[in-house]
């Protein structure tokens, strides 16, 4: 998996892209699960990955006549 995810030529693609690249050349049982664990444990990906945040709820804006 290193060659398909961590190698300088791979560029740390996400879980889905790593899986697609890997399945072009290899197959084993529970392969997607292994790729998911591998990418989730990648320190570089975890550092660079944007933090999840919740969006603010939508609110009505005042119109000029209401000001």
Number of domains in the chain: 1
Q: What pLDDT, in 10s, does the model give residues 18-55? A: 999 999 999 999 999 999 999 999 999 988 887 777 77
Residue at 55 is within a domain: no
Residue at 28 is within a domain: yes
Q: Which pLDDT score is estimated for 63?
A: 80
pTM (predicted TM-score): 0.70
| 3-state SS, residue 8 | coil
The encoded tokens of residue 52 equal 């999840």
Q: Which pLDDT score is estimated for 5?
A: 95
Confidence of residue 67 (pLDDT cuts 50, 70, 90): low
Residue at 42 is within a domain: yes
The encoded tokens of residue 65 equal 């006549």
């Amino acid at each position: 998996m290193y060659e398909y995810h961590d190698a300088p030529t791979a560029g740390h693609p996400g879980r889905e892209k790593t899986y697609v690249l890997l399945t072009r050349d290899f197959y084993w049982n529970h392969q997607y699960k292994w790729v998911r664990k591998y990418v989730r444990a990648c320190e570089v990906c975890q550092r660079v990955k944007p933090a999840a945040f919740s969006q603010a709820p939508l609110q009505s804006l005042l119109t000029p006549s209401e000001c």
